[in-house]
């Protein structure tokens, strides 16, 4: 599989897939064809090229729906998971919540699943509660069950933590939310590249993810929502494509998903996302999950043998290992590793409340993809050994 990724040269260990994945050649080819051979606008032109591109665009929507177990009319194309969450916050929470209602988040959420809810809560006078973590750094669903009240109208949780790799029992979380009448949004950015996802089985109400973490292009993402919820939501933005009819006396809007796709979309991004889904499914998400689980286990075992290293997250983390080296700032760790051609992420990973809970300013994070293998872990360990020699 490594041969499919032209941006990964021999000898370079790319361990930052949780931030963004490298792109396989089939995705690059699909994007190139989209711009160089088949490009035209969608949903507007009556000429053949435009009609063909419209068919390709909507075929991608069907592909996404099949990929996550939803319906075609429930798939909204957005710029990424961040925009998807903002859309739900503005169009669903902004119209359904009232002063005194409560929103439930968790300690490990990405800023994109915190700040939009804070903004809407401040606007309408709602309150935010935060579920703590278990001792092995999972969202504590027992604590969540004890915290939930009929005043909670929305729960928003990460399916897989972008820092810890801990996997949420999303089906149980959805059942708990629904037991008090709350809706639940699941942030699937780190889940969809790593494991099979079926929104019908999870029984969630909204599910979001970004294409660029799924071996696809940047600037494209997906909001899945139950159709009856989307149909009751007002538009997020106004413009072309999302209308039924416009007059100065008033405007009527298209049904979902078109209602939420104002303006000319990221046409080739959608085509690239289709190719990315085809790519991961040609490998098999079950196979990808087993591959990354094995790499995590190997990396954690090797890191645990280094006395200066502190590991975060559970042993069965999905594709992600966060750690710190005693007495060394993660940025210094990452810099020295880069000198040895090992690329990791260092910082707060857009999860500052989680850093506060862990009692650290930042962590170093190695995250895996289909292109990684045992030699990348060897490079990581060799680099950390060099870090400890340099810093004593």
Residues belonging to the active site? 350
- DSSP per residue, 221-273: EEEEE-HHHHHHSPPSS-SSSSEEEEETTEEEEPPTTGGG--SS--HHHHHHH
Pick from 234, 271, 233, 238: nearest CA to 53: 271
Q: Decide if 306 contacts 388 (C-beta within 8 A).
A: yes
- Residue 100 burial class via C-beta count within 10 angstroms: exposed 0-12, middle 13-18, buried 19 and up: exposed
Q: Decide if 153 contacts 94 (C-beta within 8 A).
A: no
Dist. CA 61–CA 79, nearest whole Å: 14
Q: Residue 11, by phi and psi: left (phi above 0), alpha (psi -120 to 50) or beta?
A: left
Q: Which two tokens stand for residue 188?
A: 């699937």
Q: Decide if 101 contacts 93 (C-beta within 8 A).
A: no
Dist. CA 329–CA 317, nearest whole Å: 23
């Amino acid at each position: 599989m490594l041969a499919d990724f032209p941006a990964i040269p021999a000898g370079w260990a790319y361990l930052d897939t949780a931030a963004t994945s490298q792109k396989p050649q089939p995705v690059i080819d699909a994007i190139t064809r989209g711009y160089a051979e088949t490009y035209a606008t969608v949903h507007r032109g009556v000429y053949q090229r435009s009609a063909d591109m419209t068919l390709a665009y909507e075929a991608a929507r069907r592909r996404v729906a099949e990929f996550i177990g939803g319906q075609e009319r429930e798939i909204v194309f957005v710029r990424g998971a961040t925009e998807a969450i903002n859309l739900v916050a503005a169009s669903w929470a902004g119209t359904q919540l009232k002063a005194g209602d409560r929103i439930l988040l968790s300690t490990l959420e990405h800023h994109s699943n915190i700040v939009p809810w804070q903004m809407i809560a401040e606007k309408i006078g709602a309150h935010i509660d935060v579920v703590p973590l278990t001792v092995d750094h999972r969202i504590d669903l027992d604590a969540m069950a004890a915290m939930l009240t009929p005043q909670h109208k929305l729960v928003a949780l990460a399916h897989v933590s972008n820092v810890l790799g801990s996997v949420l029992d999303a089906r149980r979380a959805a059942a708990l939310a629904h037991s008090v009448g709350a809706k639940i949004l699941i942030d699937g950015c780190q889940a969809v590249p790593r494991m099979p996802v079926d929104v019908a089985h999870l029984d969630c109400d909204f599910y979001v993810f970004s294409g660029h973490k799924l071996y696809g292009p940047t600037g494209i993402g997906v909001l899945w929502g139950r159709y009856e919820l989307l149909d009751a939501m007002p538009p997020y933005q106004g413009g072309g494509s999302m209308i039924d009819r416009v007059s100065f006396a008033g405007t009527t809007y298209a049904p979902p998903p078109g209602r939420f796709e104002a303006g000319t979309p990221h046409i080739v991004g959608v085509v690239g996302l289709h190719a990315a889904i085809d790519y991961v499914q040609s490998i098999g998400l079950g196979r990808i999950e087993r591959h990354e689980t094995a790499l995590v286990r190997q990396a954690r075992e090797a890191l645990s043998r280094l006395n200066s290293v502190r590991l975060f997250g559970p042993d069965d983390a999905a594709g992600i290992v966060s750690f710190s080296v005693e007495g060394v700032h993660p940025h210094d760790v990452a810099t020295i590793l880069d000198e040895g051609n090992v690329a990791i992420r260092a910082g707060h990973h857009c999860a500052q409340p989680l850093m506060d809970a862990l009692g650290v300013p930042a962590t170093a994070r190695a995250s895996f993809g289909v292109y990684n293998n045992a030699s990348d872990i060897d490079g990581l360990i060799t680099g950390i050994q060099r870090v400890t020699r340099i810093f004593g």
